[in-house]
Chains A and B, each alone.
Chain A
Amino acid sequence: MLDPYKIREDFPILKRKINNYPLIYFDNAATSQKPRQVIEAIKNFYENHNANVHRAIHTLSQEASELYENAHEEVAKLINANGMEEIIFVRGTTEAINLVAYAWGLRNLRKSDEVLVSLMEHHSNIVPWEFLSKTNGFNVKYVDVNSDGTLNYEDFENKIFDKTKIVCVSHVSNVSGVVNDVERLAKVAHEHGALILVDGAQSVPHLTVDVKDLDVDFLAFSGHKMLGPTGIGVLYGKREILEKMEPFHGGGEMIREVSFNLTTKRCSITWNDLPWKFEAGTPNISGGIGLMEAVKYLREIGMENVQSHECMLTKYALQHMQECQKIRIYGPKDASVKCGIIPFGVDDLSSHDVALFLDNYGIMVRSGFHCAQPLHEIFKLKSSARVSFYVYNVCEEIDRFIEVLKGIE
């Protein structure tokens, strides 16, 4: 078991007061807070090792390159990838999905093909496919969500067919916290010859995610939701698929050679090895190093302990929120089918009223669509308030949250 009180000591921001009340941070699905180990790692890089990575032979560049490469290795270990060749650093989940859409989809999706997307997706796993379909002419088909927010697996199995080329699904819904059975989805996708891309933005920070067990082709996630800095994220891809793909962005770092042909007056280009083929330009080096420290921090706690702590908090919150007559919980009320995310509403108040009421007492929650408008339309909601937990949250904070909500008169 993890000790959240000990963990809290590592997070300087948790000592803050908002409107003279101790900060209670329940907006972890949007972004997590950062431990001093991550903050120090970034500071240490800039104070002691800052240089551009690769293709320089001086000491600082060697140090920076080693740190940056180690960061890829640490991430690979976290999700049980085969090595850093399968780990591409990007800006975040959104860029990771766009990378797949453009570097793979642009060249592989044709007019007669279909892309199967779930209706519980964040806009980042809907918009790139709708956008690309305008260029390539393929169809985007949506898998239904049941009224309780769980995925309709029957509908998925009915809609997938031999023209489905890729299945795009989140591992954990950023609105309801529902955990999808990715292993099952991957198995069915592969039986139909389709690839599967999983949005792991809400799962990798909170669960043990093993890409080999799940057998996913792509996994996208963000550093800032897992104690790391903003501006750094990850695309995992199976090596054999990444090898066949063309690059996403062109520029320095992603090439091995750019040779000018004096006869044709054109340049011929050969790509760099994985993962650098997909990391054009100077990368976010400090971000990668910060992410490495975040991964080490989580690994030291143990992902199974992260998961059980959040499950306990979710159960506790669900139980106490249901005791409050004014609160309406959306989605499943069974903590065993979800991660630490609870969407809710309060009678006679908009979600923004709720968020601003709680803000008055130093409690940070999100309100709105959470970038998942289609799911809100299914729930027939104009918007929702959302609490989401992480390793540093404690039951006393949930007690205070309930106490404040009960005070609404």
Chain B
Amino acid sequence: MVTVEDYVARIEGTCGKDKDVIVIFKYDKKDEVVAKILKKAKVEKSISGVIFELTFKGVSFRLYGTGKAIFRNLKDKSELQNVLIDLLL
């Protein structure tokens, strides 16, 4: 059975005043992940086709072409987990 862990390499807090969360997707899955997310989430803005500002089920985040995403204002870890499940599986 495919799980979120099959796509995610690491999850880290970003450094800075804003306590955002960065999700780093597995390198060999990054193209698949970017395609899946862009299909499901709403693209609010694209910056040079490299950074995509997205919303999905009330959560706003930025996806990068290199297979990383920064999630802002998450309530807790379980909210992130649920969003990733809905986006990736």
Contacts and interface: CB of A to CB of B under 8 A. Distances in A.
Interface string B17-32: 1101010000000000
A383 B48 contact: no
Interface in B46-89: 47-48, 50-51, 62, 64-66, 68, 70
Contact of B47 (A367, A368, A408): A408
Contact of A367 (B16, B62, B66): B16
B68 A409 contact: no
Given A19-B66, A352-B70, A359-B66, A382 B17 contact: yes
A68 interface: no
A408 B47 CA distance: 6
Interface residues of B, number: 17
B18 A360 contact: no
Contact of B64 (A357, A381, A407, A408): A357
A352 B16 contact: yes
B66 A382 contact: no
B16 A408 contact: no
A356 B51 contact: yes
Interface in A346-389: 349-353, 356-357, 359-360, 367-370, 376, 381-383
B48 A409 contact: yes
Given A367-B15, A369-B15, A407 B48 contact: yes
Contacts of A409: 47-48
Contact of A360 (B14, B50, B70): B50
A369 B16 contact: yes
Interface of A: 19, 349-353, 356-357, 359-360, 367-370, 376, 381-383, 407-409
Contacts of B14: 352, 367-368, 383
Contacts of A383: 14-18
A360 B46 CA distance: 14
Contacts, number: 59
Interface of B: 14-18, 20, 22, 47-48, 50-51, 62, 64-66, 68, 70
Contacts of A381: 17
A55 B50 CA distance: 59
Given A19-B66, A352-B20, A352-B22, A357 B15 contact: no
Contacts of A376: 16-17
A356 B64 contact: yes
Contact of A382 (B16, B50, B64, B65): B16
B16 A356 contact: no
Nearest to A354: B51
A22 B53 CA distance: 27
A403 B78 CA distance: 40
A66 to B, nearest CB: 42
A408 B48 contact: yes
B47 A357 contact: yes
Contacts of A349: 47, 51
B64 A360 contact: yes
Ranked nearest first, the 7 interchain pairs of A and B with the lowest CB-CB distance are A368-B15, A383-B16, A382-B17, A356-B64, A360-B50, A368-B16, A409-B48
16 contacts: A349-B51, A350-B20, A351-B16, A353-B51, A353-B70, A357-B50, A357-B64, A360-B50, A367-B15, A368-B14, A370-B15, A382-B17, A383-B16, A383-B18, A407-B48, A408-B47
A407 B47 CA distance: 9
B58 to A, nearest CB: 20
Contacts of B22: 352
A183 B51 CA distance: 47
